[in-house]
Structure 1
Amino acid sequence: MSRIRQGAPGLGEMEIRQAVASAKLRPAEATLLAAFLEQEPSAVTTWVPHGPAALARVLYEIALAGHGDKVAAPICAGCGRGGLKLSAQRPEGAVCYSCLRPHRACSACGEQALTIAATESGPVCRRCYRPPARVCGGCGREAPKALPGARLCRACQDRPARVCADCGRSRPSMANWPVGPLCDTCYCRRRRNPVVCGICGEVRIAAGRTSSGSAACGPCTGRPELHATCARCKFPGDLYTAGLCARCVLGDRVDELLAPARGQAARQLRPLAEALGAATHPRSVLAWLHRHSAAALLAGLAAEGQAITHEMLDRLPRMKSTRYVRELLVGTGVLPARQENLARLEAWTSTFIGALPAGQARLVGPYARWHIVRDARRRAARRPYSSRAADADVRGIRIAAAFTAWLDQEGLGLAELTQADLDRYLSEHPTKHRGTRAFIRWAIIRRLTDKHLTAAAPRWPFPSDFLDTDELDAQLSRCLNDTGLPREVRIAGVLSRLYALPLTRIVTLTADHYTQEADGHGYLTLERNPVLLPPKLARLIQEQIIAAASTSMISPHPASPPFLMPGKVPGRHRSLNWFYTQMHEHGLPVRPARNTAMIEAVTRLPSIVVADLFGIHPGTADSWARYANASWAAHLAARREDDGRTVRSTDTARLHEPNAADGE
């Protein structure tokens, strides 16, 4: 032990005693080791291939105890790997157990290696071997790594809970590295993100830490088996399968997926193949190729060899996979972008009209195609046609079909319809008032019914959900200063409370809506004119543009401006449902805040200025201004009675009193 301590002064006596005891040296081996170290004292820190086998065992036990950075790592004279337990001494030096056994040509990769299994095609090495799938006794699924006997897959194995060396949480341990126990998350993060080793300077997996706290690779910490490189690209990180990293495997899988493509389809799908291969997280794309039905649909389209168009996808069944493939092709530039909600309305209209009885189709068909759909095309030409607008137009067509069905049931035609019949229908169906009125007006213009028929426009109640001014200011301050809120929630909260923007418009904002002038001020263009932003909001938007957390597996096409709130599909924004859920969970109501912000805007600025800055219709701004001038005083009086709480009044009678009407 004294010889080992002289060669490695950094080791304590107790550590050396434990290593020698674990090595289980015989007296003759201990004597031979002492004599060798007397002649070669540097062999403790510098590996000597022809040293005695006892030295290799002692150094291995020292490294196994976590002191591999203080002694030399035993290196196998056969395979050249370090840090292994060397089993025998050969003329060329000590070798590990794998090199002790005879090597044969692997039937899969063709290399001379230790074969561990015999398959139908011949012997295979450890790298190419795929264990047979067994049924897990825990979850019942087939798992290729189910253990014999218990037959539990990796997910069902009972792993002891330990404090993770990285995150500090007590979780089931995935591995015990020189740095300490690692949970699943930290283990995968280290394997997939190699860093520069603080000892050797090579880019490798960080298996431990040096005394100064910098990263140390596996070979430098006595665990060379923790260092692996891709057999093709030499990436020093996590291997996915067959000795290849995830990115190399992804390139092969994408080639296999699109291999049947030929002719124009092959040239057309090249941008998609490049985008999939260059994905930021290749494992996510590999999981999508393996599990998602959209990948199989994409392979089928490629195999047809025809040019892929929107019309070709329209003929496919309307499923989520079809929609995802379309958005994927649009996001990567394979297909041109189009108004999907408008296309969905047109396709639905054709299907719906075709299923109606002939008599109803003769009336509802022209109304749907030449009134509702044509008006939707005009609106889509001016600004994005939202899903809610499409839902409203679908409802209008359904209401027209329901009204014509009622006419058939009553034995009436549009030409014989009287005012009494129309009033009776509206009284029996009060929720269909607006859609029926639009259909009647269209029929009158087309001279299909009596021109004296009238259906009064429904009187919608004025907004009744508001926030107290102090409460609005408190929420605005929270969105600007609370770093615990998600950045996207903070930006949406400020925009809805300062500029009364609905979430339907916030999610469609792109990065080019924001500009920064030379003086450092940030501007956001909501319609035509840029609006000066508060400095804190401008910084939030800048941070969002720079470090937007895109949840898409591939990057969007560079030709399309990125959304301020990117979503899961390339070229798509965050979903409205996600935003509504997040705002609700963080106690930031949307509608009351928007209503209060709009009231404050129209009471301080002319309605035409509000319409120009906020990007709303002048008539809408004028209605808000008249409503604020007529009833805001009465509303504030009622607010004082509610002691500052949010008002959700259902009694709007006070808003229609004679004094309020005179005020208008």
Structure 2
Amino acid sequence: MPSCRRCSGVRLNVDCIGCGNEDELHSGNRCWSCILAATVDRLLSPLDNQAPSPALQAIATALKAMKRANSGLTWIQQPHVTAFLQQLSAAPVITHARLDELPASRTREYVRGLLVEHNALPRRDELSARFGEWSDQALERITSQNHRDIIRRYIRWHHQRRMNQMDEVTQGTFLRAKQSVTVAIELLNWLTERDAELAEVTQAHLDRWQAEGPTTRGIASRFLDWATRTSLIDPSVKLQPHRRGTSPRLDATAQTELVATVSHTTDMNPRDRAAAILILVFGQQVTNIVRLTWDNVTVTEDLVSITLGTVEIALTSPLDEPWRELAATPTHYQTAAHPNSNWVFRGGSPGQHIQASTLTQRLSTAFGSRAARLGTLHELTKLAPVAIIAEALGYSPATIERHAIDSSANYAEYIASTATVKSGA
């Protein structure tokens, strides 16, 4: 059994001369925590020996309180992190605007996240802010002033307005907005090269532009729909919209085998197993999984349940096992990044959940998330009414209805082919 140095008979002195605790020593007879505290004070103190700003004091307190001091010391001693913190320590007041003036980097955003998570800066939607910064640069690529004004309106009154109405801008919304604006700019620059204004665009223009480029040019239909609603173009001109190919889905046999594998494997960590179960058993989208909080999950000695829609669903054994492990040992809890985080799937950025793309990539070694989700929904629609599935899993009835129709159509094709074979025999 673990025991103190005196009880174990160890004669080696491992008492820190700084704090007096019996601990692993780093250097100079001081423990990792004391070395981290001294390093933090040195880096975050202004050159004139004045006290650091209240914002930096909040970060300093958080870093010094880390349970895993070696991780904090490793991070803060990286040259680029050291240089950034020293630069920031010279600022008398730290705001989001002040941080935005500094060169964009992962370190800048990580420190911003720490400041927000420890209440030194107000929380803001970072993806919305990033879109605003990106769109300002995108406007510079437009070769016509008139077209630049149109895209500015499109950005402000369509994309940014929509983002402002959302509780949280998702990665998907952010990427679709960037893609829509990028393709719209390409179309307008193409028109400018042909001495045409958007108001003068004809069906011949659009047909030629679409025929000369990749299929993704069809994404410009989103911009043209907006232009039609705002009376900027003739409503009769249309693009062929961008169509994605038919997505593959896992069949029932593959789904069953994967559920059995994920339920018992030791090759995946509890977080990935828990996410995989939500996809394979309940057809959940990764973008929704990463936003789950512990308010959605109940773990007791007898039962593990999770609320995906409006219904609390019990997880039977062995599906509950990774959730019990995850509740007992949540990730990232020993650093300053997540002191009081309620996210089930905590990410590397302070106070943020894991990115959907990151989780998808992690799961890709075992299965394709989209194919598995579509396969699950396809099978579930055979087992229960649309309204019940939609309510339990948090989907809109229209979405589940589409899967149900597809499932029924496939079954009808099977019956028809069977009848044909019998009649032919």
How would you bin the TM-score normalised by the shorter chain?
Answer: 0.7 to 0.9
List per-residue Cα deviations over 1:460-518 (Å, max 9, x = no partner): 4433x22232221121122222344321221122111111112232222222220257x
What corresponds to 1:486 in structure 2?
A: 269
Instruction: Give the C-alpha shift of residue 535 in structure 1.
Output: 4.0
What corresponds to 2:397 in structure 1?
A: 618
Instruction: Return the alpha-carbon distance in structure 2 between the equivalents of residues 359 and 329 of structure 1.
Output: 41
Letter in 2 for 1:196: C
What corresponds to 1:408 in structure 2?
A: 192
1:444 paired with 2:228, answer yes
1:196 paired with 2:4, answer yes
**1:309 and 1:411, CA in 2 relative to 1: closer, same or farther beyond 3 A?**
same
What corresponds to 1:372 in structure 2?
A: 159
1:286 paired with 2:73, answer yes
Number of residue pairs aligned between Structure 1 and Structure 2:
415
Q: Which has the higher strand share?
A: 1
**1:581 and 1:433, CA in 2 relative to 1: closer, same or farther beyond 3 A?**
closer
State the SS of the aligned residue for 2:77: helix
1:353 paired with 2:139, answer yes
Instruction: Give the C-alpha shift of residue 257 in structure 1.
Output: 2.1
State the SS of the aligned residue for 2:198: coil
Instruction: Return the alpha-carbon distance in structure 1 between the equivalents of residues 407 and 171 of structure 2.
Output: 30
What corresponds to 1:246 in structure 2?
A: 32
Instruction: Return the alpha-carbon distance in structure 1 between the equivalents of residues 87 and 296 of structure 2.
Output: 39
Instruction: Give the C-alpha shift of residue 320 in structure 1.
Output: 1.6
1:608 paired with 2:387, answer yes
**Residue of 312, 316, 326 corresponding to 1:544:** 326
List per-residue Cα deviations over 1:354-398 (Å, max 9, x = no partner): 4433232022111121112212332x23xx322232111101001
- Name the TM-score, length of structure 2 as normaliser: 0.88
What corresponds to 1:65 in structure 2?
A: none
Q: Is the 8 A contact 2:308 2:393 kept in 1?
A: yes
What corresponds to 2:90 in structure 1?
A: 303
1:417 paired with 2:201, answer yes
Instruction: Give the C-alpha shift of residue 631 in structure 1.
Output: 2.9
Q: Is the 8 A contact 1:552 1:568 kept in 2?
A: no
Higher relative contact order (CA 8 A, sep 6+): 2
Instruction: Give the C-alpha shift of residue 555 in structure 1.
Output: 5.0
Q: Is the 8 A contact 1:553 1:568 kept in 2?
A: no
**1:533 and 1:228, CA in 2 relative to 1: closer, same or farther beyond 3 A?**
closer
Instruction: Return the alpha-carbon distance in structure 1 between the equivalents of residues 64 and 331 of structure 2.
Output: 20
Instruction: Give the C-alpha shift of residue 292 in structure 1.
Output: 4.6
State the SS of the aligned residue for 1:337: coil
1:505 paired with 2:288, answer yes
What corresponds to 1:393 in structure 2?
A: 177
**1:427 and 1:618, CA in 2 relative to 1: closer, same or farther beyond 3 A?**
farther
1:531 paired with 2:313, answer yes
Q: Is the 8 A contact 2:332 2:338 kept in 1?
A: no
List per-residue Cα deviations over 1:250-294 (Å, max 9, x = no partner): 222222222229999633333322211111121221222211523
List per-residue Cα deviations over 1:520-560 (Å, max 9, x = no partner): 433212244433333433342132022123276325232x4
What corresponds to 1:105 in structure 2?
A: none
Instruction: Return the alpha-carbon distance in structure 2 between the equivalents of residues 337 and 456 of structure 1.
Output: 41
What corresponds to 2:278 in structure 1?
A: 495
List per-residue Cα deviations over 1:68-116 (Å, max 9, x = no partner): xxxxxxxxxxxxxxxxxxxxxxxxxxxxxxxxxxxxxxxxxxxxxxxxx
Instruction: Return the alpha-carbon distance in structure 2 between the equivalents of residues 483 and 243 of structure 1.
Output: 40
What corresponds to 2:127 in structure 1?
A: 341
State the SS of the aligned residue for 1:304: coil
Q: Is the 8 A contact 1:233 1:248 kept in 2?
A: yes
1:594 paired with 2:373, answer yes
1:553 paired with 2:335, answer yes
State the SS of the aligned residue for 2:231: coil
Instruction: Return the alpha-carbon distance in structure 2 between the equivalents of residues 551 and 581 of structure 1.
Output: 23
Instruction: Return the alpha-carbon distance in structure 1 between the equivalents of residues 226 and 277 of structure 2.
Output: 42
Instruction: Give the C-alpha shift of residue 632 in structure 1.
Output: 4.7
Q: Is the 8 A contact 1:250 1:286 kept in 2?
A: yes
**1:319 and 1:583, CA in 2 relative to 1: closer, same or farther beyond 3 A?**
same
Instruction: Return the alpha-carbon distance in structure 1 between the equivalents of residues 226 and 348 of structure 2.
Output: 41
Instruction: Return the alpha-carbon distance in structure 2 between the equivalents of residues 490 and 259 of structure 1.
Output: 44
Instruction: Return the alpha-carbon distance in structure 2 between the equivalents of residues 632 and 335 of structure 1.
Output: 56
List per-residue Cα deviations over 1:311-336 (Å, max 9, x = no partner): 22122221122111112222333223
Unpaired runs of 5+ residues, structure 2, are: 419-425
Instruction: Return the alpha-carbon distance in structure 2 between the equivalents of residues 635 and 490 of structure 1.
Output: 34
Q: Is the 8 A contact 1:230 1:237 kept in 2?
A: yes
Instruction: Return the alpha-carbon distance in structure 1 between the equivalents of residues 363 and 133 of structure 2.
Output: 34
Letter in 1 for 2:69: P
List per-residue Cα deviations over 1:6-26 (Å, max 9, x = no partner): xxxxxxxxxxxxxxxxxxxxx
Q: Which has the higher helix share?
A: 2
1:218 paired with 2:218, answer no
Letter in 1 for 2:400: A
- Name the TM-score, length of structure 1 as normaliser: 0.58
**Residue of 251, 256, 266 corresponding to 2:42:** 256
**1:459 and 1:577, CA in 2 relative to 1: closer, same or farther beyond 3 A?**
closer
Instruction: Give the C-alpha shift of residue 622 in structure 1.
Output: 2.3
Instruction: Return the alpha-carbon distance in structure 1 between the equivalents of residues 240 and 260 of structure 2.
Output: 44
**Residue of 348, 351, 355 corresponding to 1:571:** 351
Instruction: Return the alpha-carbon distance in structure 2 between the equivalents of residues 408 and 632 of structure 1.
Output: 52
1:317 paired with 2:103, answer yes
Instruction: Return the alpha-carbon distance in structure 1 between the equivalents of residues 171 and 325 of structure 2.
Output: 29
Q: Is the 8 A contact 1:443 1:449 kept in 2?
A: yes
Instruction: Give the C-alpha shift of residue 459 in structure 1.
Output: 4.5
Q: Is the 8 A contact 2:263 2:273 kept in 1?
A: yes
State the SS of the aligned residue for 2:189: helix
What corresponds to 2:59 in structure 1?
A: 272
Instruction: Return the alpha-carbon distance in structure 1 between the equivalents of residues 214 and 414 of structure 2.
Output: 28
Percent identity for Structure 1 against Structure 2: 26
Instruction: Return the alpha-carbon distance in structure 2 between the equivalents of residues 550 and 635 of structure 1.
Output: 50
